[in-house]
Structure 1
């Protein structure tokens, strides 16, 4: 609704209950519209009464004319006039009915607009943002985006919204566990769960044309209960707009062989096993270097799930094997099969 703010009983950061008055806009114009529409409704109702009276009169005349016409007392032209008058009277009555319905709709719309001049809180929460002051004019129409007056947020139920690349989004599912790190709370991890995954991509116009999907994560209150102790029921340790980093756990496995991602190299099958058939010699295969008798030995491996640092080895090595790790360039580019290896103490 558009108009001047005449009542603003809340402040930013204030707690509110469902149904509390948030803001009131000057209702004078909208009250005037209601009055005009009510007057218009009464006018068309009077017109309907006139149309119904005219229809009753025309109906009686029609019946008399029919009797006289059947007896041959009146001419065909007089009978046609009676029929025409009756049909016109019925049409006028229907038109008046529709006018009443239209006027009733106008009254209902005007009354709804009048009610909207007083805005009440839709739920319990906190005024997280207040953009206006008493006396300001606000704009709100169907054709354009209106003035954002304020935001009411439930700060006890916080969500993190993150962008997930299209290559990773297929791995994410609702109810996946999440580790959340908020910049305001260093060296602390909060627990969360994926609650919503966007169906449409959020493309960012750039040279690389990055395509991401919005994912919403609910932060579980149980992971920050200590921060709520001694605080009001509406208090939240988080604020809208804070920055956070998340790790979405798409799969978990226990008691597996895992190595640093930098230990995985891609080699031709002929480099891994000289006896590889010629048709498979140039195929690329994931492998690791294993130390055997002080020398580097290549082993083809099958990998599984991974996180930011480690990757699972499903097959190809045993738990007792000593896998060679180090800087990626050193392991992937410089280290060769058969090179002598010296173990550095950690």
Structure 2
């Protein structure tokens, strides 16, 4: 009696264990409706789909960062005290606009002195030229020696050189005077100023006064692995030279960090010519219009680069694709009335289909409905979708009666 009480809980749990075994057997072997067919060796009824060529865009998802189309650091070319700030920080500026004014008094005085030196040199040249003419006449009359004439002529040449030197000094002084107005080297949006009025500036100093970014259009620098490039060559048709495709013909779209899509479509304008030894990647650069200034330099973005089209792509319904314990995808094909398991390589999902890039060939038939009820080498019978639906409706009342 004590033994019965000991095994009573096990006896009560036995139906639940048997039910669980039935569920496991159903998951592993398929539905109950097909169990008699498998037990008797009859063919399992399945629907199939024949693989036909489809036109698919060949694309890659790459990550990158935005960079300005052009950018320039503003630096002074002369030294002096910053006298005036002539722009609004963060605003748009045009090439040639005055951004800063440096105290000009010293450079104005230097310019005036250079001009005075030039006037003095020109006056001396005029006198020396007249003396040379008179000495030449006297030399013809034998009134002076050849040495005297040579001395006067050398003085004339020296006076001419002095004039040229003074003219160059005037030009230099004018340049330095003009450079007291620091102008925008390019058009674009200017950053905050790093110096305020009263600061002492040095010619060609290391620290920029400000930076100007030209952001329309905007560049996006991307990195593509060299392994992916070779896979792309394999995916493209043999008559397409991937390396020599015109980059401007390759379209690109952007997805922002928050998941939203950028409204404008861009294109590639540069592809790298070498592989980075540290990262094993190739640099790509896309160009996007940015009239509204939505894109800013330094943003992290995802780019969808459309390399071209594959007119003989293979698309497989997602419900026909199974995965093994390692997560590797495979499908079942019908070969000579039997199911054949085939491992495949997937590219990406397109709607309700998978884009298959390896493992299948056009014209082959894969099992669609009933794929969970077959195993490799099992006999299968191809039926139409309508026949499969009728069989399922016929089996439902019988299942409910049992």
Q: TM-score, normalised by structure 1?
A: 0.60
1:180 aligns with 2:254: yes
Change (3 A) 1:172 1:119: farther
What per-residue deviation string (whole Å, max 9, x for no partner) do you get for residues 246-297 of structure 1?
Answer: 23333223452268xxx9xxxxxxxxxxxxxxxxxxxxxxxx9873322236
Distance in 2 between the 1:317 and 1:4 partners?
76
Q: After the TM superposition, which residues 259-298 of structure 1 pair with which residues of structure 2 at under 5 Å, given as runs? A: 291-292=333-334, 293-296=338-341
Change (3 A) 1:252 1:307: farther
Find the partner of 1:29 among 79, 101, 106: 106
1:126 aligns with 2:200: no
SS at match of 2:141: helix
Specify the alignment match of 1:39 in structure 2.
Answer: 116
Specify the alignment match of 1:282 in structure 2.
Answer: none
Distance in 2 between the 1:298 and 1:15 partners?
58
SS at match of 1:50: helix
1:245 aligns with 2:302: yes
Q: CA deviation at 1:7?
A: 0.6
Q: After the TM superposition, which residues 1-346 of structure 1 pair with which residues of structure 2 at under 5 Å, given as runs? A: 1=77, 2-17=79-94, 19-65=96-142, 82-121=145-184, 125-141=188-204, 146-163=206-223, 168=229, 170=243, 173-175=246-248, 176-183=250-257, 185-190=258-263, 191-197=265-271, 209-210=278-279, 215-221=284-290, 235-254=292-311, 256-257=313-314, 291-292=333-334, 293-296=338-341, 312=357, 317-322=361-366
Change (3 A) 1:298 1:156: closer
Contact 1:173 1:250 in 2 (8 A): no
Q: CA deviation at 1:323?
A: 9.6
Where do 5+ consecutive residues of structure 1 fail to align? 69-77, 222-233, 264-287, 325-337, 342-346
Change (3 A) 1:214 1:131: farther
SS at match of 1:236: coil
Q: CA deviation at 1:8?
A: 0.8
Change (3 A) 1:165 1:57: farther
Distance in 1 between the 2:114 and 2:194 partners?
33
Contact 1:178 1:192 in 2 (8 A): yes
Count of equivalent residues: 261
What per-residue deviation string (whole Å, max 9, x for no partner) do you get for residues 182-215 of structure 1?
Answer: 32x424245212234567x696xxxx53476654
More strand by share: 2
What per-residue deviation string (whole Å, max 9, x for no partner) do you get for residues 131-181 of structure 1?
Answer: 22222233333xxx6431222334443222345567759466431211222
Change (3 A) 1:197 1:256: closer
Change (3 A) 1:291 1:307: closer
Specify the alignment match of 2:384 in structure 1.
Answer: none
Structure with greater Cα Rg: 2
Contact 1:290 1:322 in 2 (8 A): yes
Contact 1:159 1:219 in 2 (8 A): yes
Q: CA deviation at 1:40?
A: 2.4
Contact 1:172 1:248 in 2 (8 A): no
Contact 1:62 1:83 in 2 (8 A): yes
Contact 1:15 1:127 in 2 (8 A): yes
Change (3 A) 1:198 1:51: farther
Contact 1:34 1:107 in 2 (8 A): yes
Q: CA deviation at 1:23?
A: 1.3
Distance in 2 between the 1:196 and 1:46 partners?
60
Where do 5+ consecutive residues of structure 2 fail to align? 1-76, 230-241, 322-329, 369-374, 379-402
Over the aligned positions, Cα root-mean-square deviation in angstroms equals 4.1
Q: CA deviation at 1:86?
A: 2.6
Contact 1:8 1:133 in 2 (8 A): yes
Distance in 1 between the 2:272 and 2:157 partners?
51
Contact 1:193 1:220 in 2 (8 A): no
Specify the alignment match of 1:268 in structure 2.
Answer: none
